[in-house]
Each structure stands twice: as structure tokens, then as C-alpha cells.
Amino acid sequence: MTTLGLVQAAVNSGTKTLEQTISEAIDEARQTCELDGDNSAGCAVAWDIVEELQAEKSHQQQAKQRKTSLESYCDTHPEAVECLVYDV
């Protein structure tokens, strides 16, 4: 599993928040670039991981904003009459 895959697994399991993971990834990227040099492949990969995590955070925020009032209500009250879905 890639480093990004491990990070995503930790976030999905609830052991870390996405913000904590991004902060840790930034620290790791800085350390990697100091050790390997700013033009190294390891440095580029480390910052790519940070970028992917930030993009995921942005996607999650956009998904939250797209929900209508009814969708939010149905998320918390799936048994409500307004939220029932029938097959025709």
C-alpha cells in the first residue's frame, strides 16, 4: 500500500482527522525536502501527498455544501415519511 493509501486508511478509520493528517504530511514533506533536497523525487512525492490530502478536504467540504435541507433532514431521520423511497 502506498503512503497516501495508508494515510487515507487512517483517516477513514477515524484514528486521525483530515486536518491532523494534512499537518503531519506537511511536516513530513518539509523534513523530506531538507534531507533529500528540494529537487529530489522524494520531496516531490511528499508534496504531492499533501496536495492530494488538501484536495480530498476540499471535495468533502463541497459535498457537505451540496446537500439540500431535505437531504440533511433525511440523513438524521431516515424513517420519516418524507424520506421513504418506494420502488415503482
DSSP per-residue string spanning 8-26: HHHHHHTSS-HHHHHHHHH
Q: 16-20: long-range contacts (C-beta < 8 A, 24 or more apart)?
A: 18/53, 18/56, 18/57, 18/60, 19/57
Instruction: Summarize pLDDT for 15-63 with one digit per residue, the tens.
Output: 678 899 999 999 999 999 999 999 999 999 999 999 999 999 998 888 7
- Per-residue confidence (pLDDT) for residue 69, from 0 to 100: 86
Average pLDDT, integer, range 4-17: 64
The model scores a pTM over 0.75: no
- Per-residue confidence (pLDDT) for residue 8, from 0 to 100: 61
Q: Do residues 43 and 29 touch, judged by C-beta distance below 8 A?
A: yes
